[in-house]
Amino acid sequence: MPLPVLVVDDSSMSRKLTIRAFPGDWDVEVSQASGGQEALDAIERGLGHVVFLDLTMPGMSGFDVLAEIRRRGLDCFAVVVSADVQPKAEEQARQLGAMAFVRKPVKADALHGVLREYGFL
Amino acid sequence: MNHPDGDSRDLLESIVDRVNVGVLVVDAHYTVVRWNRFMAMHSGLAADDVLGRDLFTVFPDLPRRWLTQKLRGVFLLKNYAFTSWEQRPYLFRFPHNRPATTAVVDCMRQDCTFIPIKDGDNHVTHVCITIMDATDTCIYQIQLREAMDSLEKSSARDPLTGIFNRGHIESRLRDEFARSHRHDSDLSVILFDIDHFKRVNDLHGHMAGDEVLCEVANRVAGALRKEDVFGRYGGEEFTVVLPDSDLAAARVVAERLRHCIAARPIVTSAGAVDVTVTLGVCRRHPDIATHETLLNRADQALYRGKAGGRNGVFLYEDEA
Amino acid sequence: MTFQEYTPDQEDALQEVVNIAMGQAGAALAQVLDVYVALSVPRVRIVSADGVADAVQAMIASAQDGDPGDVTAVRQGFFNSLRGESIALFGTEGCNSLADLMGHEQALEKDEIDRELLLEVSNILSGAVLNGVAEQLDTDFAFSAPTLMAMRQPVNRLLDAQALGWDYALLVEVNFRLEAPGFSCHLVLLMPEESIEFMRRGLDAMLEGL
């Protein structure tokens, strides 16, 4: 069964760039969300076992989404994909439950490294 | 490219060396690796004295903490950086090239640009600093400022007494009124005039009248704080704007002014003249909407004083 | 001149390009000042000359920290394939605490320190944002020295439509806040017509690659 993967970003180009960086042979079912609320709904419906999450989004930020995932006790593996590359941002995201941090612009190598590290490949 | 000395690299070398701009290059350890003729001429240190040496050892007077911060920023951020003579007059203390004609500035004013020099891997290996002589610009700016200042002064001053004129007083009062309104701070105004001034003119002549005006202005100016604004409102009428002063404070000031005029006669070319003034005082009150009203009320107090005995201080009647 | 708005795709792509550049600029500032720089979503718009002052004011007023009141502004030119000016706007409050962070010596007057600091911070931010944009569009920029444009003035006084030499410009706004000393800076990039078209071609090339 393909792995449900959710890509969350307010920019559609950015979502496409992330998806394009996925390994070609990765067996996944990809869903997309353009905002925090939409993302949480999708995760509740089981569409995001792995979630690629942007941090700077209008309204609900990626930090807010992480906090909400934890509060609702949702089970997912969150990978932050962010242009905010300050160490503090990464630290804060990890404290809120993010498992990994990938910098924008997304490099396929970096993304594959994360997936390999956590046994998704 | 044709050049008597050979290839285009030599040509570039000689341009960099001879251009009328300071060019020096340092590596990540602040060792000087490039020092052009401009730098050599103005510093008195030839390339051989400087190349391969630590910049701060050769020039111990450089602002070390600030400059390393600046250079570190360029290495780190791979970004241009700038300094202007307007913020930091110079980086290197060089004599300027107008020794015969200029005493206004003590040494060469400099505009500097810090340029990141990158290798093929996009790493900054060196920083090139260019130094432009901005002394002329600086001098023009100083002259311009002086001209503007004297222009402003002359348009804000009453030509006879040298204190502020009516236009300036009004604009300052407008500003102070707005400020006091915004911060809900105190503000008071004194309007005063010279008692029986027409009689002074008639008895002693207009020249003596002018001398009296000047001496009144002089004494009052000497009795005020730096932040008070004092001007001639017209004829023999004067205004004082007192920021951050409530009515009690303004009354004390007004009493002091009255006294410093009445205390001793004013000596004019036509002899000593006894002079007194009458003063009207008003403070800014929340129900006063404009600075004109404030001035009007001070004027009403003054008018009342004129009717009631002169040589005295009169508060606006709501306050009295 | 006849002139075409960006498509939603182009606008989205530009916003993301600026977002990435802003991230790099924030990291640069954070590194220099050793503080965390809070970022928000950048905004892009094409504006007409007579609408630019209102647009800038609206962008600033809708940012999280609200209307800054009077601002101090630093401008800087950039040129090459894209030409334009960046304007950094600082609220009147909040500039003072920067002096310590930047490691300034006491050799200069207080006012001079403030001025030098504002120029420095503006230069870091606009340099980092623009270098970030340039890198993604495969170009690079040269910069003019930053100069103080206005001290403590209302935003709508900064840009005089009559004096602008263009009809339409691309307006990009990013907002940086330092968590510690309560300091915020709006960086506004303005690029006239020919840069709108250069940018359009660059964005199309990126979108085609998807």
Regarding the domain delimited by B157-315, which CATH topology (the fold level of the hierarchy) does it fall under? Alpha-Beta Plaits (3.30.70)
Q: Which structural domain, as residue segments, surrounds residue C146? A: 8-208
Q: Do B76 and C123 touch (CB under 8 A)?
A: no
Beta strand ranges found along chain B (DSSP E): 22-27, 32-35, 81-83, 110-118, 124-133, 187-194, 229-234, 237-243, 266-268, 271-273, 277-283, 313-315
pLDDT given for residue C116 in this prediction: 81
Residue A7 C-alpha, separation from nearest chain C C-alpha, in angstroms: 15
Name the residue type at position C204: D
pLDDT at C182 over 70: no
Q: Is B38 helix (H, G, I), strand (E, B) or coil?
A: helix
Q: Is C123 on the interface with A (CB under 8 A)?
A: no
CATH of residue C152: 3.40.1550.10
Task: Sort out which chain B residues have CB atoms less than 8 A from C102's CB and list them.
Answer: 69
Q: Is C165 on the interface with B (CB under 8 A)?
A: no
Task: Quickly state the pLDDT bin for C106 (edges 50, 70, 90).
Answer: very low
Task: Quickly state the pLDDT bin for C107 (edges 50, 70, 90).
Answer: very low
What are the tokens at B254? 């007004």
Find which of A7, A11, A102 to mutate to test the C interface (most C CBs within 10 Å of its CB).
A11
Q: Do A83 and C210 touch (CB under 8 A)?
A: no
A10, A16, A104: residue with CB nearest C20? A104
Q: Is B314 helix (H, G, I), strand (E, B) or coil?
A: strand
Q: Which structural domain, as residue segments, surrounds residue A60? A: 3-117
In a domain, C116, yes or no: yes
DSSP H/E element including C142? strand C141-143
> Averaged over C173-184, what is the pLDDT?
79
Q: Do C36 and A10 touch (CB under 8 A)?
A: no
C204 Cβ partners below 8 Å, 6+ apart? C10
Taking the C-alpha atoms of residue B240 and residue B302, their distance in angstroms, rounded to an integer, is 13
Q: Is C51 on the interface with A (CB under 8 A)?
A: no
Give C103 or C18, the one with higher predicted confidence.
C18
Count of the separate structural domains present in chain A: 1
In a domain, C3, yes or no: no
Task: Quickly state the pLDDT bin for C64 (edges 50, 70, 90).
Answer: low
pLDDT given for residue C68 in this prediction: 58
Task: Sort out which chain B residues have CB atoms less than 8 A from C128's CB and list them.
Answer: 77, 79
Q: Per residue in B65-100, pLDDT tens?
A: 889 989 988 998 888 999 999 888 999 999 887 766
Taking the C-alpha atoms of residue A96 and residue B48, their distance in angstroms, rounded to an integer, is 59
Residue B161 C-alpha, separation from nearest chain C C-alpha, in angstroms: 34
Range in B264-268, C38-42, C93-97 with the lowest mean pLDDT? C93-97
**pTM over cut 0.95:** no
Task: Sort out which chain A residues have CB atoms less than 8 A from C37's CB and list them.
Answer: 86
Q: Do C105 and B73 touch (CB under 8 A)?
A: no
In a domain, C66, yes or no: yes
Taking the C-alpha atoms of residue B91 and residue B47, their distance in angstroms, rounded to an integer, is 18
Give C4 or C131, the one with higher predicted confidence.
C131
Taking the C-alpha atoms of residue C143 and residue B12, their distance in angstroms, rounded to an integer, is 22
pLDDT given for residue B141 in this prediction: 87
Q: How far is CA A90 from CA A51, A112, C36, C129, C175, in A?
A: 16, 18, 11, 20, 20
ipTM exceeding 0.85? yes
Domain residue ranges in chain B: 8-141, 157-315
B69, B81, B111: residue with CB nearest C103? B69
Q: Do C105 and B66 touch (CB under 8 A)?
A: yes
Q: Which residue of the set B13, B176, B236, B237 is catalytic?
A: B236
Q: Is B65 on the interface with C (CB under 8 A)?
A: yes
Task: Quickly state the pLDDT bin for C185 (edges 50, 70, 90).
Answer: confident
CATH of residue A41: 3.40.50.2300
Find which of A13, A14, A101 to mutate to test the C interface (most C CBs within 10 Å of its CB).
A13
Q: Do B77 and C104 touch (CB under 8 A)?
A: no
Count of the separate structural domains present in chain C: 1
Question: Is there a catalytic annotation at residue B236?
Answer: yes
Per-residue tens of pLDDT for chain B, all 320 residues: 454 556 788 899 999 999 999 999 999 999 999 999 999 999 999 999 999 999 999 999 999 988 998 998 899 888 899 999 988 899 999 988 776 666 678 899 999 999 999 998 889 999 999 999 999 889 888 888 888 888 777 788 888 898 999 989 999 999 999 989 888 899 999 999 999 999 999 899 889 999 999 999 999 999 998 899 999 998 999 999 999 999 999 999 999 999 999 999 999 988 999 999 999 999 998 889 899 999 999 999 999 888 878 899 999 876 54
Contacts 24+ apart (CB under 8 A), A26-31: A26/A115, A26/A120, A26/A121, A27/A2, A27/A3, A28/A2, A28/A3, A28/A4, A29/A2, A29/A3, A29/A4, A29/A5, A30/A5, A30/A6, A31/A4, A31/A5, A31/A6, A31/A7
Q: Per residue in C189-204, pLDDT tens?
A: 999 888 999 999 999 9
Task: Quickly state the pLDDT bin for A82 (edges 50, 70, 90).
Answer: very high
> Averaged over A109-115, what is the pLDDT?
95
C19, C36, C40: residue with CB nearest A88? C36
Taking the C-alpha atoms of residue B304 and residue B280, their distance in angstroms, rounded to an integer, is 8
- For domain B8-141, give the CATH superfamily: PAS domain (3.30.450.20)
